[in-house]
Structure 1
Amino acid sequence: MQPTTLRPNAGHLALPFFDEAHRHIAARLPDWVNAQGVDESDDRAACRDWVRRLGEGGWLKYCVPGEFGGALPQLDSRALVVLRETLAFYSPLADFALAMQGLGSGAISLGGSTAVRRAYLPDVASGRKIAAFALSEPDAGSDVAAMKLIASAARPDCAMQEKDGSFFLDGQKTWISNGGMADFYCVFAKTDPDGGSRGISAFVVDRGSEGLDDSAHIPVMAPHPLATLSFTRCRVQADQMLGELNGGFKLAMQTLDIFRASVAGAALGMARRALAEAIHHAQRRRMFNQTLADFQLTQARLGEMAALIDAGALLTYRAAWLRDTAQGSAKERSVAAKHQKDCSVAAAMAKMCATENAQRVIDMALQMHGGLGVMVGSKVESLYRDIRALRIYEGATEVQQLIIGKAVLQEAQS
């Protein structure tokens, strides 16, 4: 990562979505991350280095609850958005490293027993352990209920009723971020093969467990550590289960709901960097006896880019604010359910708009750079590759459209 004199605009932090804790993050983080100078030529080595540095810097404390080494009492979506937006402005790989610590341990924060949370979360917060979230499979990405990884009870007579036995995992997971380098995986598997989404349970599986092979790395267009996990009679103790038996689907969705707005935050960070690069280039590139910035066409394009970013930003901040302020505010079950639905729909809107808009903004910035934009090693060229995956992972754009569309129809019917 090369240091830069460019800085993200922090004017949006004056909006009422944020409080002093979030503004404190935004004030300190830019100088810290810009000074790190991590060698990112090897994505796996760089991610390990980023996790270590983020842990030592205290930034990973925002990925876990306060009781287990966190900076805030509970997981805070707005803090995650500010962190990811700022990190992504400077280094999408640094953003990835922080995000996976949060996503990879989120199911433990939400559903782990006290013993499990004590065993893993403090090490996540310090950077001593690298986390991973293992949900997707070769034939089960958007359709989570189609997963085929089976968790069979070692003692069928009792283990399915009580957490006093163990399970054997058999099957595969793929597209697993931090695969092959994580110290543990939060794995989702079918404990009831015929139960659909109601037959899924979650477990913590340590790297090196007998029967787990995480060596199949997956190369992608913007280098990030990904791998396929293969389980063959991989034994996991029942006390490593997260949440309720067959309650894994709900736990996975709750985890994704917390972090979905932060994906939008990462997209905002990349888009803001692209806009900053475009402005910097336009003010210095001379043609026809004036700068590129002097052309009205350039000014119009920059204005469009800024508006696209702000549109995604407002949806993102609203989604994070809704999720944070709705926690514990509703006592009646029906009201709580509506809060949860509103948060999920808002997160879907934020993720869809921020990532799609960021793709457009970065494309415009690259076009404005001309030939320099497609030169390998230029910032806008790397951003062009980095942004593409955000429109797919943690729920592709089309999935977000379905979530929003169904909600609109249900609202109209009611």
Structure 2
Amino acid sequence: MKISIIGCGYVGTVTGVCFANFGHDIVFYDVDERKLDLLARGESPIYEPSLDDLIQKNRQRLATTSDLTAAVCGTDITFICVGTPSRDDGSIDLAYILSSAATIGKALRETPDFHPIIVKSTVFPGSTEGPIRSALEEASGKQAFVDFGLGSNPEFLREGNAIHDFCVPDRIVLGAMDERTMRALGDLYTSFTCPKIETSIRTAEMIKYTSNAFLATKISFANEIGNLAKKLGIDAEEIFAGVGLDSRIGPAFFRTGIGFGGSCFPKDVRALIAGAGGYGEELQILHAALRVNDDQPLKLVRLLQAKIPNLKGRRIGVLGLAFKPNTDDIRESRAIPVIQALLDADALVVAYDPLAMESFATLFPQIEYAPSAQAVLTADAVLITTEWEEFERLDYNGTIVVDGRRIAAASRTAEIYEGVCW
């Protein structure tokens, strides 16, 4: 099948390259020609382990264009993968996706055959059938579900593990309102053996939000229990090792620490809260999950201040700036509030991350960036905010460490060691 991918960010690039690896021909479109140039040269516009190798392997199946009409008209199905950033009130901003839909709609005028348009971007339930459909119909002069298809195929990609998550998914969710679009989606995923859920578009959109909201809540719940367990002299890891064996609960996402970040969980939980508010529903559990998550990284600083009450002029090291290991993504990184709190206390901050220092410097140009993780250990104290594997190979001898990510090497070798929930 020939597939056009609209948007060459994280979701679009991974989706297109992985579909190519399954034998489909891909045409990438983006308004950012730098991304298209990188893909045309066989390079990824985003960082994801093994993605460059997969691009090289499938170069013959990958094409790029700055002409969206050509992308749509020359393919069998189109995936919209553009960003849906948060507004100040937490609701999602559909500006990028509506702009794409309007341009796609114009392209549909030149497409005589039935052409499915699949929204892979994360949007609040009702968005695809509402404003996105309206933008497509107004620009094309055609009718959805009759002249062109409309569907939802939410992504469940973890940064750092996205290729595995695409190729070996837990489930695939296919939302459509007409048989032709559902059949096209089914054909795309024929070779996948995981469970496939065929449902309405709104249900598919809601499955995505509910999944992320539940996982975020599970993390905050674990951290609340971990905070109490620490005061009781109990290791939270042992608690959740026992709790996770209950088949009704499961062990995943019970790792305590300084909370969740990234481009999905915080944004999606806020969007679900904001969207529910429009229907007169207050999602109290999700409000609480965000409150816990906002406070959790600051516990790291409070534990440090229990050891060094006056941080003014003290050199404090921070290990880890990306929101998680194996990515350069700093969106909603827990290191951001930690470093801001240190600066507010007039500390001198020296930080290190294997991939994220350049982008982090755009937020905090005033702090020092170390050439290596080892160089950070000369600071008066060190805070660990991302669980990079290389941090397990350090010798923390003589160092005061306050750990937000349970680095075993630090607990064994640091002169003074304190964990957030242990």
Q: Structure 2 length normalisation: TM-score?
A: 0.26
In the superposition, the TM-score normalised over structure 1's length comes to 0.26
Larger Rg: 2
More helix by share: 1
Higher RCO by CA contacts (8 Å cutoff, separation 6 or greater): 1
